[in-house]
Amino acid sequence: MTAPFETTPTGSTPPGSTPPGSTPPGSTAAESKAAGSIPTVTPPTRTTAIGTARTGVTPGTASRRTPSGALALMTAPFTTAPFRHTEPPPPGCATGRTAEVYRQLAEDFGVEGAPTFVVLSSSPGLLAATWALMRESLLAGDGSRTGKELAALGVSRANRCSFCVDAHTVLLHATGDHALAERLARGRAPQKEVQARMLAWGEATRTPGSPDLTPLPFFVRHTAAYVGTALSFHFINRIVSALLTENLLPGNAQRFRPVRSLAGRSVAKTLRRRPVPGTSIALLDGDAGPGPSWAAGTPVGPAYAALRTAAAAGAGLLTEADRGLVRDTVAAWDGTHQPLVWDALPGRGDRPGARLAMLAALAPYRITDEDVAAWKKPPYTDDCLVRLIAYGAFAAVDRIERALPLGGT
């Protein structure tokens, strides 16, 4: 018998006693990754996919150590970035709410100008809500950061988002769990049963009715943080797969263990400092309501409700018939990955908008230049494309959320 996940990073104060849990589900293997010695790297004159890492920065200051060697891969200046299909403005040009999101991102996440958020910047309401849900669940929410990283990694595996799988492997290094991070990078299961249960739960959230969804591998009082983290990355995975390239670092350098470890250490100080909950809520549009009952009484609730509202605005880019097609197809989805061609997927020539939204929901990694070009014609802009992809992505999130067995929550 094992307890719900409640471990702490290396060097942290251990939690109190934990109640017994239930029998563990089977664990799953990560994608196999190559390992070896780090090559000589010339710092690129571009943003890395992960953004600019803050190294030992005191909140509110701009000082940081001069990067060298592999860390330069994490700290290259922003000139161009790994965006597909859109060209968002550099973070340094941001003003107002968007600039405040970037400020919080640097201070609370330890990474400046992360393309996972920059790609949403043409829609400030969508950007703010996406940041708020991730911040209030993964960063500021209750429970172990290692546990939530494992859940997010499991989600990313299930969605075949190699960018996010690599990012969470790096962030496990940042928690101090280096051995765990490397076991996963090499395609091996966690040694600890409680960690294997958390990883399997995250992966199972994609599939309604999966036996690995119960019992919950965390305390009920931490439901908002863990479920919010999982749903946040079901959305972010789809945005990343649709609108970013797949390499976390230039040259796929995260394949090398020294790079993974050093990249994680560069944000370790920030990661081990839990932010004050609720700070991001002031960035949200209006009052989207308290959110779902599983997040009642926490900032995760209004953040989730705000993201639902912001993503739903993309529905206006489709006809009523196209919205109905997307809605009905996603509602019938069983969590499996679609074949290259499936009957419900519209063609580019007749319903390109519905095709994009459906792909964003069920197979975002299959969106091609041709798919985008078939729809993105005047008057449609980068902002329109981002909103349409977000609409499809959240349609899948909503389907997943409704199917989660949360004991009446």
Q: How far apart are CA 186 and CA 169, in angstroms?
A: 11
Residue 247: predicted pLDDT: 80
Q: How many CB atoms lie under 10 A from the CB of residue 281?
A: 16
More confident residue, 53 or 285: 285
pTM: 0.84
For the record, the structure tokens of 353 come out as 């908008």
Q: What is the pLDDT of residues 157-197, one digit of tens each?
A: 999 999 999 999 999 999 999 999 999 999 999 999 999 99
Reply yes or no on whether the pLDDT at 10 is more than 80: no
More confident residue, 257 or 4: 257
Q: Is residue 335 in a domain? A: yes
Q: What is the pLDDT of residues 242-290, one digit of tens each?
A: 999 988 777 778 788 888 888 899 899 998 899 999 999 999 998 888 9
Q: Is residue 347 in a domain? A: yes
CA-wise closest residue to 395 among 365, 362, 366, 363: 362
Q: Is residue 217 in a domain? A: no
Q: How many CB atoms lie under 10 A from the CB of residue 87?
A: 10
Q: Is residue 373 in a domain? A: yes
Q: Is residue 369 in a domain? A: yes
Overall domain count for the chain: 1
Q: How far apart are CA 391 and CA 313, in angstroms?
A: 7
Q: Is residue 319 in a domain? A: yes
Q: Is residue 408 in a domain? A: no
User: CB of 58 within 8 A of CB of 87?
Assistant: no
Q: Give the position of tokens 């041709």.
A: 370
- Min mean pLDDT across 56-70, 73-87, 372-386, 391-405 is at 56-70
Q: How far apart are CA 134 and CA 206, in angstroms?
A: 18
What is the span of the domain harbouring residue 388? Answer: 313-403
Q: Which residues are catalytic?
A: 164
User: CB of 284 within 8 A of CB of 306?
Assistant: yes
Q: Is residue 295 in a domain? A: no
Reply yes or no on whether the pLDDT at 35 is more than 90: no
Residue 81: predicted pLDDT: 58
Q: How far apart are CA 388 and CA 46, in angstroms?
A: 28
Reply yes or no on whether the pLDDT at 70 is more than 90: no
Mean pLDDT, to the nearest integer, of 19-28?
36
- Min mean pLDDT across 76-90, 97-111, 285-299, 319-333 is at 76-90
